[in-house]
Amino acid sequence: MNAVSARVAATLKQLRGERRWSLGDTAQFTGVSKAMLGQIERGESSPTVATLWKIATGFGVPFSQFIRLDVGPPQALPAAPQAMRVTPVFPWDATLGFEMLRLWLPPGARSESAPHAVGTVEHVLVESGTLWLTIDGTLRVLAAGEGERFAADVAHGYENRGAVPLKFHNIIHYPRGGRA
């Protein structure tokens, strides 16, 4: 198992243990199926970015808690070729109050996000390519160097309708210092 996948599996198992949540409880609170949660926890399946976000939101913890490594440089969560890829450039820091992710979307790919916890704010900044960003049904098109700040407690989506890969950063602020 890849180091990031191992971290995802161990974090899920640890959080369930701390909360004393069964797989059924966790499915109810995250909206991710028991079967999928079991596969992720056993390291048999790597979640998509969207699925891992549902899990983080359900537990009320920062996204990067699942993919940060204790040693070495940040690594991407394993992803299918047409899926969004994420690397925690600056994992959640409780003192500074934010985390920063680097995201990558191949041409033609999209990733739909369920609403995050109330008060979660995203700041997206396009590094290269173009981002088609949908926030609660409203489309915004961002070119390289352009950014958008939005309340992420509504459905939103990231899409690359262009011909070249899209790279962007996402600085995420959580309410109550990242704790539910």
Give whichever of 51 and 113 is closer to Mn ion, judged by the CB atom. 113
Q: Measured at CB, which residue is nearest to Mn ion?
A: 113
Closer Cβ to Mn ion, 12 or 117, answer by number: 117
Total residues contacting Mn ion by CB under 5 A comes to 2
Is 93 or 112 the residue whose CB approaches Mn ion more closely? Answer: 112
Asked if 48 interacts with Mn ion (CB under 5 A), we say: no
CA atoms within 13 A on the CB side of 61: 20
Stretch that binds Mn ion, among 29-37, 67-75, 90-98, 144-152 (CB under 5 A): 144-152
To Mn ion, the closest distance from the beta carbon of 81 in angstroms equals 21
Q: Which of the residues 76 through 115 are near Mn ion (CB under 5 A)?
A: 113
Chain residues in the site for Mn ion (CB under 5 A): 113, 152
